[in-house]
Structure formats: structure tokens, C-alpha cells
Structure 1
Amino acid sequence: MPWDADRPYNELPAAPPAGVDLEPKAVLKATIEARAALATLAQAGQLLPNPRILIHALPLLEAQASSEIENIVTTADELFKHVDSGGGDPATKEALRYRSALFAGLASIRHRPLTAGTAAAICSELHGRDMAVRAVPGTRIANPATREVVYAPPEGADLIREKLTEWERFVHAEDDLDPLVRMAVAHYQFEAIHPFHDGNGRTGRAINILMLIEAGLLEDPVLYLSRAIIARKNDYYRLLRAVTAEGAWTDWVLYMLDVVHDAATSTTRKISAIRTCQDDIAERARTATPGGRDARFLAVLFEQPYCRINTVAERCDVSRQTASTWLHALVTAGLLRDTKVGRELLFVNHELLDVLTRPD
């Protein structure tokens, strides 16, 4: 029976697709280039005086971008401002849950292989409640502009669980398929199964990062992948549908490899800019306050753009008064700005914030 966009795709084949060469010459070439870009990113991260900034800041940028793909729009500034308090408007809170979900998935794969259960845990964290596979029929995915139905995922909880089990086997198959190609195919398969009522796109993009970590291509979730997808968002959805409608696997895999390459290259440039900013501020801070000669203090200033007095006091083992004096001295020197958020006084490393949020 030919594929029909309005009919549940219960016949969705298991991955890998039968009779399809997933690694033709063009894909192999793109794989080599993407791997080289990831290796360069890993080396750049190791050169930072305080690599914790990557683990704290870049997942927030990924959260903001992945949420934006689903039209959950907030700003990176709002996320950094509220990351410790969990406050902000509804969109900010939802994007912050993406970061929590990503870290929950990361904690899980540190102890056990990535599974459908990992996906359910990520999706549950995104929504703040338990998310089981879809049981109610009638899910349809429509073009947001025309409202035309473009895809109907498989229906029936038992069938969806079966499809997820097949997906899980493919994710961990012991064959010669390159991990980047496997990630691309697995991402299509997960989105085609569309196992949950909501949150499948964000869950699937978090899984992309986790698959790269599990494969040893990343050590931490520092790849700013969703920004590269946003830059070609229409292609992302068009090529996903083309795999279903036309079996256009090569185009899809090439797209995902390009996204990885572009994201790794962009993130490497951002790391270089962070390093330059960090060196410059450290030099100026040494003459602005005695705290500027404390490596722990400088590390705190570069873990994320917004800093609290209590954080400095605890991390630097100084009194609250000393911490306040150090921070206010940097405000006077123009290296930080102070701002009230609710009843709390925060100190903004505005130069770092500019580096993190500006387009590469």
C-alpha cells in the first residue's frame, strides 16, 4: 500500500533501511569532515582555563535553540538570568526544563546504555510529569502555515513500544556503520515513531547529543547542534518527510552530517572567543580588586554570565562582605554590571554574555 500522509504509518520499517547504502562516497566524505570538526572542538575545549563554562553555558544555548525550533521562544539572556532560580516566563521555564532533561539523560547514560526508557525520562523531564507512549489515536502532524497534514505516525501503544524496541536495537547494533550516520538514521526513526504526545522533537535532539557522547565523539554535551538546525529549519522538516515519502536517505544523512560539521565549527569559534574574553577580563580584574588574583573567583565569573554574592562566598571560601566587595569593585571598573532580579542582586559579566549570545 502506498504511503499516505493522512494514514497512520504503522508499516514504518525498522532501521537500517533494507537495500539502502547509507554510506555512499558523498556520505563517507562528509563523515570524515564532520569527525574532524568534532575533534577540533574537543581540543579547543581542553584549552580553556575553566572548561566548566562549556558544561554550564553551552547546554543552555542548546536548550534555547532546540526550544525555538518548536516555537518556544525565549532569549539566552533570560535563561542565564533564571538558571539557578528556575524563574522567568513560561517559555523560559520550559526551555530550562530542556537543559534539565539533557543533563538527566546524560546522567542516565553514564551508568547504562541509551534506551527507550532514557527517551521517556527525557520527555518526562521536559514536561514535568510522567510521559508514557501515545495510547490515544488520531495524532497528525500538519504544516504550521497551511494546516495540511504532512505525516501520521504509527498508532497503538503496543505497536509504538515495538517500534521503539527496534529503534533501540539499531542504536546499539554491532556493525560497521559510522556513529554519525547511525545518529542521523536513528533521529529520523525516532521522529517517525513519534512516541509521545508532545516533546518528540526536543527529546530526539537531546538524544542526538547523547548518542555522540555514548559513541565517544563528545565527552560532554557542548555541541550547539540545534542552532545549526535553526539556520536550515525548513530543510530539516522537508528532508525528514522526504525520507518517509521518497526514501531519500542520502540527502537526509548528508544534511545531518553538515549540521554536525557546522555546529562543531561554530562552537569551536565560540570557545576561541570565550578564551580571548576570559584572558582579557582576568588581566583587567587583577588591577581592579584583590579578588582578581584569586583563580577561584575568576573561574566563578566565567561559569555563566550571571553571578551571585553567595556563590562567590561559598566557592572562594570568603565572607559575604568580601565577596560583595570584590564584585562591586569589578562593577566600578566596568567589568561587571549589577542588576536586580526580583529581590536579588545579580552581577552580569556582560562581555561574556555578548560572546555567548552573538551569532558566530
Structure 2
Amino acid sequence: MKPYKPETLPLENLNWEHLISLMSEANRKLARYDGILHTLPNPQLLLSPLTTQEAVLSSRIEGTQATLEEVLQYEADPKKSTEKYADIMEVINYRQATALAVKELEKRPISLNLIKKIHSVLLQGVRGETKARGEFRKIQNWIGRPGSTIEEARFIPPDPAELMKYLDNFEKYIHYEERDKLVQLAIIHAQFEILHPFLDGNGRIGRILIPLFLFEKKILSHPMFYISAFFETNREEYYNRLKSITDNKDWGNWILFFLKGVIEQSEKNTSKAKEIMQLYNEMKEKIVSITHSQYSIKVLDILFKQPIFSASEFVKKSEIPRASAKRILNKLEESQIISTVIKGTGRMPSIYRFGKLIEISNK
């Protein structure tokens, strides 16, 4: 098998008629989801657990085992040792890489330099860190079973000597005026995976680019679209559809698969965002009536931003006097809004869990 020579973008001979029905449905469902984003008072805060869950699921496709609760619990008490430390750090890096990209997009469009910057954060201090972090590869890589040789490869990405030529074309296509932006995004995601421009982390970078593109093209008002659950559930088809592009130039069925993912996840994201908003409004009333406190909105925001938290972090982040904070936490627990995960002893603070929000995020 020789290194693959990808097609130049934009694609010629794409059968648009074949795509129209799912294309219009995907655009409609995504617009409906964006309508919900517009109604949220603070999407970054309210959808924070969904952003972490996206990082969990995208990393899981690459073999990590950490769950949403394990990540949140680690963040609530980083001093406590955990067997999943390496996996948790990969998830946290994913979230930080996405946050960096969003900040960069305020100043400049998606570019190859930005992609390298995202990659550098993604692999900082985790497995793959020594594999040319933040740099496009200069050696040949291949995809196959763990430990397989290049002769046994399932796929050999483009020759490193030609890689920059293809990446330049890829970057130009991101800013090309395609007939439909979601079809364009399907092509961008697949082409990035085909180019496999890094020695590690390609799958995750390719998935991070999805909400960034939707945000840059103003299809979404916030870069919050969570598609990894669809890819993770349909992992085998995800890889097979990509492989059928390189084996048979079958772009049509890959694009249809991607559009189905956008439709399914738009519906799920809409439903979760609505449930979270409903929970927020419900809790706003409940916390005011339970605590009778001037700090009730601060309390509410901490529960939604960090649904697993320590008593000491609660005091620090809310800036509520310690005695008042303790009284509020006791009242929230008595009312079963939060529950204790770990009872504090000596200098170790108690860890609390806001279960209703975690349940929605895990759906």
C-alpha cells in the first residue's frame, strides 16, 4: 500500500441531488438548536457540563476510559489520587484546547497555525506529548491495529513531502464559499482525518474543528455543538465511512452519515439545553426560597458551572463568608438539591454533587 493521494478541494462531481433532503433537515434542526442557544442567559455557564461531556466522549473514541463524573470529581479535589489520572488529563486538555481556539477566533479565522496551537495544548503533559506536539508531521505515519507495521496498515496517509501542499488546499477550502456549509463541514472533517497531519491527536483535533467551523461561519451563535456522542455510538460506521472515501472515493455516503449525525445531535442538544434551562429556572426559585440569601444567584451559578465541587472551592469561588456558605450548603443538602460524595475530615473538605444536572448531561 502506498501513501494516499487525497482529492483536491472543492470536490468535483459531488451528487448534490442525493444530499438535498438530509441537507435541508440538518440545517433546519441546527437552526432550531441555535434558537435555543439564543434564549440561554449564559450558554458558557449553563452548557459547561455538556462541553466537558463532549471532551469525555471525543477522547473515549481514542481509547480513554474516564467518565464525566470522574473528571468533575478530580477537578473538585485534584489532590486525591486516581487511577484514571492520565485519561482525565486528556479530557481536561481537550476542553482547554477548545477554549483556547474559541478565544483565538475572536482575533483571526481558522488557520493551520491555529490548528497547530490547538494541538500543542491538546497533547501537553499527556501521551503523545513527545510526538512533535504542535507541529505537522515530517515522517510517514499509518493507521492500523496497535503494534502493526506499515505493511499491515489499514490506511497510509499522504507522504510527508506532499503534506503541506494538501494542507494549504485544506485551509483555502475552509474559507471557500461552498453551496452548503454543513456539506462543506462534512468534507472538512473527513479530509482532515485523511491527511492525518499530526503523529497523534488527529481524531480529536478533527472533532474540535466541527463547533469552531459552525461558530466561525455564524451558523451557531456560540461554539457549542456536541457531536462526539453520535460518532462514539456509531464508531465502526464512522471509521468505515471514512475508509470508503479513501478506498472508493465514496464521499456521498460519508456526507449522508455526517448529516444524520448533525440531525440526531441537534435534536439531543436542543432537548438537553431546554432541560438545563428549565432546571436553572426551577433551582433559581427553589434556592431563593430555601436559603433566603442575597447570595442565591452566586450559589446557583456555581452549581451549574461545577456540578461536583468541594466546600472550600465553593467558599472561594462564591466569595460568600464561610459561616454563611456552610449554612447554605447544609440547607441545599437537607432539601436534596445536592448530596455529599465524600464527607470532609480534618483538613479535607467535603465534596458535593448536584445530581440533576449530571443526569441531564449523561443522557
The verdict on a shared fold, with TM-score over 0.5 as the criterion, is yes
Aligned to 2:48: 56
Letter in 1 for 2:242: L
Q: Using the alignment, how far apart are the partners of 1:346 and 1:291 within structure 2?
A: 22
Q: Using the alignment, how far apart are the partners of 2:25 and 2:6 within structure 1?
A: 31
Q: Using the alignment, how far apart are the partners of 1:104 and 1:267 within structure 2?
A: 22
C-alpha deviation, 1:292, in angstroms: 8.2
Aligned to 1:154: 158
SS class of match (1:142): coil
Letter in 2 for 1:163: Y
Q: Using the alignment, how far apart are the partners of 1:59 and 1:132 within structure 2?
A: 26
Q: Using the alignment, how far apart are the partners of 1:153 and 1:341 within structure 2?
A: 52
Q: Using the alignment, how far apart are the partners of 2:101 and 2:78 within structure 1?
A: 19
Structure-2 change in CA distance of 1:159 and 1:84 (3 Å)? farther
Q: 1:220 aligns with which of 219, 222, 225?
A: 222
Aligned to 2:166: 163
Aligned to 1:347: 352
Unaligned ranges ≥5, structure 1? 1-5
Aligned to 2:236: 234
Is 1:13 aligned with 2:17? no
Is 1:15–1:186's contact at 8 Å kept on the other side of the alignment? no
Give CA deviations for 1:168-214 in whole Å, capped at 9, x if unaligned.
011112x3421111111111111111011000000011011111111
Note the 1:1-360 alignment, pairs <5 A: 6-9=1-4, 11-17=5-11, 19-21=12-14, 24-83=16-75, 89-128=85-124, 129=129, 130-137=133-140, 139-143=141-145, 149-156=153-160, 158-173=161-176, 175-291=177-293, 294-309=296-311, 312-313=314-315, 316-340=318-342, 343-357=348-362, 359=363
Letter in 2 for 1:152: I
Q: TM-score, normalised by structure 2?
A: 0.87
Is 2:77–2:310's contact at 8 Å kept on the other side of the alignment? no
Q: Using the alignment, how far apart are the partners of 2:76 and 2:104 within structure 1?
A: 22
Structure-2 change in CA distance of 1:176 and 1:198 (3 Å)? closer
Q: Using the alignment, how far apart are the partners of 1:25 and 1:253 within structure 2?
A: 12
Give CA deviations for 1:138-193 in whole Å, capped at 9, x if unaligned.
x221156999522101122x4212211111011112x3421111111111111111
C-alpha deviation, 1:219, in angstroms: 2.3
C-alpha deviation, 1:38, in angstroms: 1.4
Q: Using the alignment, how far apart are the partners of 2:317 and 2:49 within structure 1?
A: 18
RMSD, aligned α-carbons:
2.5
C-alpha deviation, 1:50, in angstroms: 4.5
Give CA deviations for 1:114-150 in whole Å, capped at 9, x if unaligned.
111121111111110533111223x221156999522
Aligned-pair identity (%): 26
C-alpha deviation, 1:313, in angstroms: 4.1
Structure-2 change in CA distance of 1:341 and 1:202 (3 Å)? farther
Structure-2 change in CA distance of 1:145 and 1:275 (3 Å)? farther
Unaligned ranges ≥5, structure 2? none
Letter in 2 for 1:325: R
Is 2:37–2:221's contact at 8 Å kept on the other side of the alignment? no
